Structure 1
């Protein structure tokens, strides 16, 4: 039986805006941490005397910790103080950032990235849960659009800020980690002052630790496999068979445990809801497009168009612009008219169009045309990302809001992680085969495992390398298009339901009064 510790307060527009300012600041810096190191990695690894294999792990371990722990944070939000939890997750993020900034070796840096990932997982999951608690679905659209914009800006702006910090001699790479600390502390202070949510205490409740362990272990195993396959071992190999089998077995065991647990981490009952199931599938596929688009375009700018890391970061701005405008405008229109499905379908169609356009990239494509293609992709992703969460939150009981929101966030991150790893391996194989075709025995010198340094190559070789990377990048977007088509099919089958007029906390109070 559940009891509520305090009455649900009414949230004025001013209360909401003040609380959201702290949430958005925290969410922005946590996402920034995932992406800011990409352009700074060569300097970081060189300074800490790390090996080439450390490169991927500095990014991957943070993504692993973030993705794998999102469902656990979501469950904790259904049981304990959401205000305390989000402050704790921000505190973990600060701790990880400080350890990273003061790292003296790569081992210390990797540990710091795990701590950062734990905090980022909490912020990513809890920010949307807190929004749903404070704001009715009917009003949520305009605010959800802002969060979608923050997510996109943080994802794409990270590499740009990281490149600028590394290129500034009096700052250096350590500021890639220090820069978020004051903003995160400010977010904790703002939330302490402005976030007022009721604490729901449940009797006879305990965390399903076995289920949490199995979920985290299974997901981590599959993410480790997708990160290493095609680099440390072949896709079709004994290592692949072993890791995939272990990951699947752990997740099957997790499903069995969750099906019988008194308080499961991920209540399987939410997947009986058609909206939640379809939105989960679509979120995973949107994750592939969002993360894949930014990762591979940055490499295309540098190797096919010959731009510097800072220029490559600036050239990502059209994607941010498309995402920012579409998510905020769509959110405002959803709030005004109460209709949301048309935006999901339009987002699916536009995302497919954006990927198809990007699949036509060549080394001769003008910056203007690439920018247009990126705007199209950004608009599609912006229409889909937060509105999928809104559709699911609107269609589940208030007691399942935390688990539902974190499940969608989890699958979006998982789709991004697995998609980037798999598409990255395809890209590497395509580059190698094209290099062998163009250069024959000399292929290893210009298209081998290491990314070529264009500054030391003669012009005629540069031109061939540019063509190779442009061709390979275009193919990646073509391969990604069917995933976007599947996302579109999923959203077409989501049934539109009227947006509820009550906030999550008000709905929960009503459910508890009715004895649900």
Structure 2
């Protein structure tokens, strides 16, 4: 059996009667029989494997790139008001932020396919280089158009990093071990996200350009490590492989997702949701997206093969990825609003108060990944994660302006157990019923769904918050303040609430209490929605099957031991 056939050996736990019925079966010589359908894998830990210097060098580079890509997002989000105030472009505020998200999302399926065609090393180097170049352009921007261009280039690079970090991690270790190493990568991303607001606030006060310049030396170090240590196989060779690019599919997917995301970005911000400016791109994007999946079913070179969703375990794991991304983003965007508007803290202090959730998330991602590697069972971890997430959201509904620090800190930690533990154990569940030859396509689909969930997390929470705030505006007795806070303005006002509190407590303390009460009601609605999504995720776990996670690694793209 040659390398290509070996890479397509069916996993021992493939679901009977679902996808893969026509693929090659496990060789009869494999000593471990497949588990019975619906059973979990044995609880014996996998045999420890000693990894060499090159392995840990690659892991170090992946951790650095994971850290800097998350740090950049967190820093820019905090410093964006300062940046737009100094460079101009207040009316283009949305595009400075969303050009990055858009560029990082739409190319992910194509990047996954390219990783199969030319190997992982060159796309990773190109992605890190683009991220660094975009950072330099954004840091040296003399006008808002140049800043948006730099953020767009950054986004293309970041999109490649998001996809390739997961793919390369899957190439390095067997499926049983992936949760542990994905947890390590996610922990570095968590550190970047946690320290980002503080670093962003500090750099914005000194020189905002260093927010972007900071990325360049870190990317340089990561690239140096990649060039020194990353000697990996490139899969099948030959120029014919470029014929396998899904040209038509990408020509449909990229403009369709671009249109759909543009509708989400401008809805409720630049135009009302009922405006044709919003409805038209949403409809065109949705129709194009449906056409893309239809085309994927019939083409011989799909970038997102239909078989990825043809078994219930992978399909459910993808859906759980979307749900978990949605709820973590709800907390990430609106927990700081609680601190700023209800507890009346500064933006910098709200970032500090958010740390229990941020560090808790990364810690529990590592713990759950280690548990998955030891026991090999992902369903209990999925169920426990969504259950703890539901408890966390329920506890958030108890928060008021009188809640002590110890109370909200513990609530954040409990919520982080749920949102963190799920992060490192979803991709292994996706791959449990798929062959190793689908690693790149499955990881690209996973990354896109995760990114899409992040976008919807902000969109759903913002819609709920704004609608609830408008509904309760009558509680605020001052008509001027009502006008200042309506139609989404309450989110931006939160950063200035601590200054407003000082003024109102001296002149009209009752008015301040009215404002706080409306914020609490609006935030509670978000927490209830998050609780509902968590419960939905908990029950969806029952749709997964407990498949055995492969203990051996068969890939065309692993470390090439023949190269020194």
Counterpart in the other structure of 1:177: 212
Q: After TM superposition, give the deviation of residue 442 of structure 1 in Å.
A: 2.6
Q: Provide the C-alpha distance between the structure 2 equivalents of 1:423 and 1:394, rounded to a whole number of angstroms.
A: 32
Alignment of 1:213-228 (within 5 A): 213-228=251-266
User: Which among 65, 70, 83 is matched to residue 44 of structure 1?
Assistant: 83
Deviations 1:121-172 (A, max 9, x none): 11111001001111011222221221232233333432222112223x3xx2
User: Which among 185, 190, 198 is matched to residue 233 of structure 2?
Assistant: 198
Q: Provide the C-alpha distance between the structure 1 equivalents of 2:430 and 2:554, rounded to a whole number of angstroms.
A: 13
Counterpart in the other structure of 1:12: 51
Alignment of 1:194-273 (within 5 A): 194-201=229-236, 204-205=240-241, 206=243, 207-273=245-311
Q: After TM superposition, give the deviation of residue 210 of structure 1 in Å.
A: 2.1
Change (3 A) 1:151 1:485: farther
Structure 2: tracts of 5 or more residues without a match? 8-48, 560-564
Change (3 A) 1:446 1:368: farther
Greater displacement, 123-132 / 69-78: 69-78
Counterpart in the other structure of 1:447: 485
Q: Provide the aligned C-alpha RMSD in A.
A: 2.3
State whether structure 2 residue 399 is matched by structure 1 residue 361.
yes
- Report if the CA contact (8 A) 1:142-1:328 is conserved: yes
Counterpart in the other structure of 1:480: 530
- Report if the CA contact (8 A) 1:90-1:123 is conserved: yes
Counterpart in the other structure of 1:513: none
Structure 1 stretches of at least 4 aligned residues deviating more than 4 Å after TM superposition: 506-509
TM-score by length of 1: 0.91
Structure 1: tracts of 5 or more residues without a match? 510-516
Matched residue of 1:111: which SS? helix
Counterpart in the other structure of 1:409: 447
Counterpart in the other structure of 1:80: 118
Change (3 A) 1:480 1:165: same
Change (3 A) 1:504 1:406: farther
- Report if the CA contact (8 A) 1:61-1:114 is conserved: yes
TM-score by length of 2: 0.84
State whether structure 2 residue 67 is matched by structure 1 residue 28.
yes
Q: After TM superposition, give the deviation of residue 397 of structure 1 in Å.
A: 1.0
Bigger Rg, structure 1 or 2: 2
Change (3 A) 1:358 1:202: farther
Matched residue of 1:377: which SS? helix
Q: Provide the C-alpha distance between the structure 2 equivalents of 1:200 and 1:65, rounded to a whole number of angstroms.
A: 28
Q: After TM superposition, give the deviation of residue 115 of structure 1 in Å.
A: 0.8
User: Which among 452, 457, 471 is matched to residue 433 of structure 1?
Assistant: 471
Aligned length: 501
Q: After TM superposition, give the deviation of residue 266 of structure 1 in Å.
A: 0.6
Q: Provide the C-alpha distance between the structure 1 equivalents of 2:332 and 2:552, rounded to a whole number of angstroms.
A: 37
Q: After TM superposition, give the deviation of residue 37 of structure 1 in Å.
A: 1.1
Q: Provide the C-alpha distance between the structure 1 equivalents of 2:556 and 2:110, rounded to a whole number of angstroms.
A: 24
Change (3 A) 1:371 1:178: same
Greater displacement, 401-410 / 386-395: 386-395
Q: Provide the C-alpha distance between the structure 1 equivalents of 2:109 and 2:294, rounded to a whole number of angstroms.
A: 16
Q: Provide the C-alpha distance between the structure 2 equivalents of 1:254 and 1:508, rounded to a whole number of angstroms.
A: 31
- Report if the CA contact (8 A) 2:368-2:422 is conserved: no
Q: After TM superposition, give the deviation of residue 3 of structure 1 in Å.
A: 7.2
Q: After TM superposition, give the deviation of residue 306 of structure 1 in Å.
A: 1.3
Change (3 A) 1:470 1:233: same
State whether structure 2 residue 152 is matched by structure 1 residue 102.
no
Counterpart in the other structure of 1:146: 184
State whether structure 2 residue 501 is matched by structure 1 residue 458.
no
- Report if the CA contact (8 A) 2:167-2:440 is conserved: yes
Deviations 1:176-228 (A, max 9, x none): 11112111111111111112211112654321122113222222222211222
